[in-house]
Chains A and B, each alone.
Chain A
């Protein structure tokens, strides 16, 4: 009744479709156009996500197309008030991408300090941070290079030594 080969084959059928999904996504990814924000807003957004999560020992947020994730996710997932706040905040930062790097950091720092006190729906920075983090750390680059990820860990080991410089699990 329970045929091990059958169920392993079942798993491999699903694995096959998952792998195919990745290929399709990669194929569809270039060249990429924004669907919600304007080209100039996208340049600001691209700069912002890289100021938040720059290239370190792993690629920057924009290398994982985090700004495109936000372009898709804000209209689809954010509530009407948060969407409005975010769009207005982005517009208010027009020209941000042209600033010197240290000015970009200072300007975002000031914005963060002011915005952290606001309710989420009215806080441009909190919304930006939320979507930047989700977009990057759950992308393939973020999960597998900035963090560690195993689709099928193969079991659970509860108490292991943390190796020097070991990355945290993505999920």
Chain B
């Protein structure tokens, strides 16, 4: 345990944003305590499956019935297998209630889901920041692109990202290393798009994976086993990048196995003085004190902590004067897309396993207003030649079958839209009145559904996907529009939105609780709308921005 219970700053959570808060606050000289509810995961040393061959993993990496029983929700995740299951929670230990079906994927350990993320890092633009105001949806963002732009650059330079700047206003220019190479099929599609469309293009995704060495990290070794933890530090994780930087200052105290129950609110000073913590293993309670608190526990958990902090001043949760705390939950939706095959280019192949998608940037509601829906979507694009798995569910067997199946098959492609979801007030979370987990924490209830705008968009996502693959002269084009359980894109966000008016928002433009100025919430809960692009880069940039503001105010004696 920590030698003293008093610090300058406390950061709750050690994942994507907690690591950034820790780095920024410690580098600015604050003695900082990082509280992580899960176990410690040391960079490299604790990546126990990182370099295992398939035959060294149980059942050749196939999940077992016992795994699915302990992790009924987590085991439905696309990257779940014997090599990654240790970074996802045991659902039976961490129950929650689904008023509507919601897949809540959680990584309770040092580094959180920064170990598991899909690493796509695009910036938002003013198309995104101005959308709510222009369309009269929800409330206006209290910031614009110019407020975040320098912080995007700051974060990109430190984390190291690779990709392709397409020169589109909806995807602002980034600091990027050279992109990973396209496959022969992707090059073909890129050329066909250039001939067929003026508003659509295929680019390499911006991704927090190093194509070149960066600050002694990387480059990527082409294993595409990122979610096991990278022994080459080639992708950005809190464990491999921000937490080591914070530790190097000598100002960091990292406390794993520490579940934050609530914040301690001082009615007289109208400030938070610290946090109440339950030891995950011994169930004992401890209090830690600090001048400033950063909540970086992931969207739903940071809001839970605020909802669980009740006082005479804030009977409905800390900072909840607006009544918006817990409301306006969002996630993306990715049910619409298409598949196709291509019988040409049989003399082309590839070497290594690329850990990124290709990308078709948003083209709907950019220069022309659509009639059926507002906002838009981009596509992630995955291609490859058929592997042995194409022979699993067929009637064939024998020597000829084996010879055929061990050679590369036809090219195939899978493209999947990632669509914006509007903020709806009744998509929300709240704490159970009577059900407690083993640490005495109230169960979280989640209720979220997609609505008409998302459904109309998903239909168009499918139709556009099929149209584009057909235009690229591919074969066996099949559009799809799968129903999506909210939470499945793992971009859950909102529930403590920022805004200009304390009557309609929880946080101000600096991620600071309006009525409790020494508490900052910088994970995805601050989001006011859910743009098309993957959100983590924005969370990181906003965390660094809030940290500078907080330290300035602290030094000025205003916190």
Contacts and interface: CB of A to CB of B under 8 A. Distances in A.
B358 to A, nearest CB: 10
A11 B65 contact: no
Given A156-B180, A168-B408, A143 B53 contact: yes
A151 B407 contact: no
Contact of A160 (B47, B54, B222, B351): B351
A37 to B, nearest CB: 16
Interface stretch (A39-47, A92-100, A131-139): A131-139
A70 B74 CA distance: 25
B54 A54 contact: no
A2 B233 contact: yes
A11 B232 CA distance: 7
Q: Which of B45, B51, B408 has the most CB of A within 10 A?
A: B51
A58 to B, nearest CB: 7
B248 to A, nearest CB: 5
Contacts of B220: 155-156
A52 B352 CA distance: 29
A152 B224 CA distance: 10
A153 B402 CA distance: 25
B42 to A, nearest CB: 10
B186 to A, nearest CB: 7
A52 B406 CA distance: 13
B395 A134 contact: no
Contact of B398 (A4, A21, A52, A143): A52
Contact of A171 (B181, B346, B353, B393): B353
A34 interface: no
Q: Which of A25, A160, A161 has the most CB of B within 10 A?
A: A160
A134 B54 CA distance: 10
A15 B393 CA distance: 35
Given A7-B233, A13-B44, A156-B354, A21 B52 contact: yes
A162 B349 contact: yes
A78 B45 CA distance: 33
B44 A139 contact: no
Contact of A146 (B221, B350, B406): B406
A30 to B, nearest CB: 16
A133 B388 CA distance: 8
Contacts of A72: 59
A151 B405 CA distance: 21
Nearest to B209: A156
A76 interface: yes
B50 interface: yes
Given A1-B248, A7-B216, A158-B180, A153 B388 contact: no
Q: Which of A52, A159, A170 has the most CB of B within 10 A?
A: A159
B223 interface: yes
Given A133-B388, A134-B62, A159-B348, A151 B51 contact: yes
Given A4-B216, A155-B219, A156-B351, A56 B403 contact: yes
Contacts of A153: 221-223, 351-353
Contacts of A25: 55-56
A1 B244 contact: yes
Interface string A100-128: 00000100110011001000000001100
Contacts of A166: 349, 407-408
Contacts of A165: 407
A155 to B, nearest CB: 5
B307 to A, nearest CB: 38
A73 B58 CA distance: 9
Contacts of A4: 216
Interface in A21-68: 21-22, 25, 51-54, 56-58
Nearest to A10: B44
Contacts of A54: 398-399, 402
A77 interface: yes
A69 B55 CA distance: 10
Nearest to B395: A112
B316 interface: no
B64 interface: yes
Interface string B404-440: 0111110000000000000000000000000000000
A41 B182 CA distance: 48
Given A58-B406, A73-B62, A168-B409, A160 B397 contact: no
Given A11-B44, A140-B53, A168 B181 contact: no
Contacts of A135: 60
A108 B396 CA distance: 10
A10 B219 CA distance: 15
A21 B54 CA distance: 12
Contacts of B65: 76-79
A125 B397 CA distance: 11
A161 B348 contact: yes
Contacts of B395: 109, 112-113, 116, 125
B291 interface: no
Contacts of A155: 219-222, 352
Given A54-B399, A129-B392, A135-B60, 15 more contacts: A18-B52, A52-B397, A54-B398, A72-B59, A77-B63, A77-B64, A108-B397, A139-B55, A153-B353, A154-B221, A158-B181, A158-B186, A159-B184, A162-B348, A170-B388
Interface of A: 1-4, 7, 10-11, 13-15, 18, 21-22, 25, 51-54, 56-58, 69, 72-73, 76-79, 105, 108-109, 112-113, 116, 125-126, 129-130, 133-135, 137-140, 143, 146-147, 149-162, 165-171
Interface of B: 43-45, 47, 50-56, 58-66, 180-184, 186-187, 215-217, 219-223, 231-233, 244-245, 248, 346-354, 385-389, 391-395, 397-399, 401-403, 405-409
Q: Enumerate the 9 nearest inter-chain pairs by beta-carbon distance, A residue then B residue, closest first.
A: A158-B181, A2-B216, A10-B44, A153-B352, A156-B352, A138-B60, A153-B222, A138-B54, A11-B231
10 contacts: A14-B47, A18-B51, A51-B398, A58-B402, A72-B59, A126-B393, A151-B53, A153-B353, A161-B347, A170-B387
